[in-house]
A and B are shown apart, each in its own frame.
Chain A
Amino acid sequence: MLAGKAPGLQHPNSNSILRGLIITLAYDDVNRTVTKRLLEKIGCEVTAVSSGFECLSALSNVEMPYRVVILDLQMPEMDGFEVAMKIRKFYGYHWPLIIALTASTEDHVRERCLQMGVNGMIQKPVLLHVMDSELRRALQSASE
């Protein structure tokens, strides 16, 4: 799949919807580093964490209005779905937005994501323009 440049990326003004705090959670160092950089490239301010605990701690910080959690479901030592469930349990279904990164698009993964109150899914490897448009879509529909 070739990645082209989405038109939105050329216009800094249209990035205002993306400006905001994001948490990215991935167990794997490489994935976490790449996802963080990718998000920063599209204009987000990112906190990268490597555990569900860190993620929930960051969310509980009232001084940092995180809007989105980018959740890598591919984590050997922890269950990404469990993290999503905990987020929804503590913070409800409207905030923060959760976008799951998954290696597979199998139906049962999709279904579980919907059940867990995940707002969007992106298949890995994550492409810049895909992250950009999925984030915009999720933020747009949340604000409606």
Chain B
Amino acid sequence: MQRQVALIKQSLLDQGYLDEQFMELEELQDDANPNFVEEVATLYFKDSARLINNIDQALERGSFDFNRLDNYMHQFKGSSTSIGASKVKTECTMFREYCRAGNAEGCLRTFKQLKKEHATLRKKLEQYFQLARQAGPKETARRPK
């Protein structure tokens, strides 16, 4: 079953949902902190849900305070980077570029895509962690080639 877990992780990496940084987090996991990555992921999704909500509200109001939106996104990008959420990070970057260009339509479009990527990642990681827990404690994380 551990191989199944490894394969799922590899496919998340191959498809670009996650990047190297996710593996860096796994390096921080050990016997004393066996669920560290899942804990961080939980924290990330809690924080990012709040940020998404803030941005949604700001966009709904119709007044595009690009500075404020950029600030939110700067934060969002930061935590997405820390967890290795590659596709989400890309959307964050794009959103910020639209903010700097003052392009409201671009922001709305990108944000829609961002929410989609975010939801997909959340689902996939939930599946991954559930399986990982079932599979039991791993041997030392090995880097796939």
| A in complex with B | yes
Q: When the two chains form their complex, are residues B24 and A37 in contact, meaning their CB atoms are under 8 A apart?
A: no
Binary contact track A16-57/B, C-beta < 8 Å → 1, others 0:
000000000001111101100110010000000000000000
A30 to B107, CA, bound (A): 25
What secondary structure prevails in chain A residues at the interface with B? loop
A1 to B25, CA, bound (A): 15
Interface size range on B against A:
20 to 34
Q: When the two chains form their complex, are residues A3 and B47 in contact, meaning their CB atoms are under 8 A apart?
A: no
Interface size for A (C-beta < 8 A) is: 20
A3 to B40, CA, bound (A): 20
A70 to B43, CA, bound (A): 21
A105 to B47, CA, bound (A): 26
B82 near A: Cβ within 8 Å? yes
Q: When the two chains form their complex, are residues A38 and B78 in contact, meaning their CB atoms are under 8 A apart?
A: no
Name the distance in Å between B13's Cβ and chain A's nearest Cβ: 13
Name the distance in Å between B100's Cβ and chain A's nearest Cβ: 14
A2 to B27, CA, bound (A): 13
A1 to B27, CA, bound (A): 15
A143 to B75, CA, bound (A): 36
| From B33, B72, B75, residue with most partner A Cβ within 10 Å | B75
Given the interface contacts A37-B28, A38-B28, does A76 sit within 8 Å of B75 by beta carbon?
yes
Name the distance in Å between A31's Cβ and chain B's nearest Cβ: 5
A137 near B: Cβ within 8 Å? no
Complex partner residue of B74 from A41, A76, A124, A128, CB under 8 angstroms? A76
Q: When the two chains form their complex, are residues A34 and B28 in contact, meaning their CB atoms are under 8 A apart?
A: yes
Question: Which residues from 48 to 99 on chain A have a C-beta closer than 8 Å to any C-beta of chain B?
Answer: 74, 76
Binary contact track B86-115/A, C-beta < 8 Å → 1, others 0:
000000000000000000000000000000
A28-B82, A30-B43, A30-B83 known, 12 other contacts, Cβ within 8 Å: A3-B24, A28-B47, A33-B40, A34-B28, A34-B83, A37-B33, A38-B28, A41-B28, A74-B74, A74-B78, A76-B71, A124-B78
Q: Which 5 A-B pairs have the closest CB atoms?
A: A30-B79, A37-B28, A125-B21, A30-B44, A76-B71
Pairs A–B under 8 Å by Cβ, sample size 29? A1-B20, A2-B20, A3-B20, A3-B27, A27-B75, A28-B78, A28-B79, A28-B82, A29-B46, A29-B47, A29-B79, A30-B47, A31-B78, A31-B82, A33-B43, A34-B40, A34-B82, A34-B83, A37-B33, A41-B28, A74-B74, A76-B71, A103-B78, A103-B81, A124-B82, A125-B81, A125-B82, A128-B27, A128-B28
